[in-house]
Amino acid sequence: MKIIETLSELGQATEGCVLTIGNFDGVHLGHQEILTVARQASDKRQAELVTMTFEPHPVAILFPERAPGVLTPLELKAHLLAECGVDSMIVLKNNPDLLDLTPEDFVSRFLVEKVRPSEVVEGIDFNFGAGRAGNVDTLLKLGAREGFETTVVEPRKIELSTGQRVRVSSTMIRYMLESGHVADAAAALGRPYQLIEEIIPGRGIGKKLGFPTLNMKKPNQVIPAEAVYAGFVRVGDSVEDILTSKEAIPAVYSIGQARTYGEEFPLLIEAHLLKGNLGQVTAKYMAMDFIRRIRSQHKFKTPEDLSKQIAKDCEQAQEILIAEGT
């Protein structure tokens, strides 16, 4: 997949394309529905499928204090979009002037003059232009006037573990993760939620308890609620290595502040591998795929009590991950 980061690359590279615009944070089932429709349209037209996304999120530029947490950093997002059949990704970085355009100017002065799409595919809740004043009805009218077709895709709904049916959105997924409902987040994403960052030295507490861990630097992503989880770890010398890795190591995760040892600890993100020799892991980066929450965090009276509970967590994680088909 080609990544376009400058306006000068537009035009000839994108003329006649099928375009879809959005932040695509999470590349969740709703996004995938839009991308499937767009891919079908591009195949029919024998044209390229182009996505246009923003880095960072437009809200982070206009209202930094209200910026939403990130589900998929740019490198992960690009990987997922390529898997969905995207040919080129336009990345608009820190472009407040573009965000200040009226819907009419955004279409005429940017889409038509710069990108030149033959068709634009969007979800029903798409907004654009200064103050998010434009919607899909606006786009339909402007597209008819400017000579490109507009296709609107209905939202995707899923059933949560509670039985409730909800509309899939990045906002909903952030809420699920921040409340520890990683299995429901995975259902909305169509895959397990994944944290990716560098491996850093730990404090050796897990090793002393008989459960050595890989420790992750705090990522610039939404971090699931403090709890113990079952999941799969991937390791590599780079983020690219992780994204292409086929080896998933079953693990138990702990996200918390190790309050058994005092209140001064920062948030720790740790993974104890259930297979393999931790001493042989020399990779620089790790990814944590979250499958299911096991329990909440709490303070234990003694390290021995904590060790006994970790052993139980490992047994439960094994059962959960075996049920996942490994």
Q: Specify the pLDDT at position 135.
A: 97
Reported as a single tens digit per residue, the pLDDT across 23-80 is: 999 999 999 999 999 999 999 999 999 999 988 887 777 778 888 999 999 999 999 9
Say yes or no: 145 and 185 in one domain: no
Say yes or no: 9 and 138 in one domain: yes
Reported as a single tens digit per residue, the pLDDT across 171-213 is: 999 999 999 999 999 999 999 999 999 999 888 878 888 899 9
Last residue in a domain, options 172, 189, 206: 189
Tokens at 97, concatenated: 């002037």
Say yes or no: 175 and 146 in one domain: no
Say yes or no: 6 and 151 in one domain: yes
pLDDT at 264 over 70: no
Q: Specify the pLDDT at position 279.
A: 63
> Cβ(50)–Cβ(88) under 8 Å?
yes
Say yes or no: 147 and 206 in one domain: no
Say yes or no: 148 and 170 in one domain: no
Structural domains of the chain, count: 3
> Cβ(123)–Cβ(22) under 8 Å?
yes
Query: Between 37 and 267, where is the model more confident?
Result: 37
Helix-strand-coil percent breakdown of the chain, rounded to 5?
40, 25, 35
Query: Between 126 and 300, where is the model more confident?
Result: 126
pLDDT at 260 over 90: no
Last residue in a domain, options 155, 176, 209: 155
CA angle in degrees (0–180, nearest 5) for 145-148-152: 105
Nearest to 30, CA basis, from 129, 134, 161, 152: 152
Give the phi and the psi of residue 172 in degrees, each rounded to 5: -60, -40
Tokens at 60, concatenated: 């982070």
Say yes or no: 142 and 213 in one domain: no
Say yes or no: 23 and 105 in one domain: yes
pLDDT band at 6 (very low <50, low <70, confident <90, very high): confident
pLDDT at 170 over 70: yes
Over residues 75-97, the mean pLDDT reads 93
Q: Which amino acid is at 22?
A: G
Mean confidence (pLDDT) of the chain: 92
d(CA 159, CA 285): 34
Domain CATH code at residue 212: 2.40.30.30
Number of residues assigned to the chain: 326
Domain CATH code at residue 52: 3.40.50.620
d(CA 143, CA 53): 20
Question: Domain range for residue 301?
Answer: 192-323
pLDDT at 326 over 70: no
Say yes or no: 176 and 205 in one domain: no
Tokens at 231, concatenated: 């999941």
Say yes or no: 224 and 314 in one domain: yes
Which pTM was predicted?
Answer: 0.93
Which residues, in sequence order, are CB contacts of 140 under 8 Å at separation 6+?
150, 152
Say yes or no: 182 and 197 in one domain: no
Nearest to 199, CA basis, from 298, 286, 271: 286
Say yes or no: 179 and 218 in one domain: no
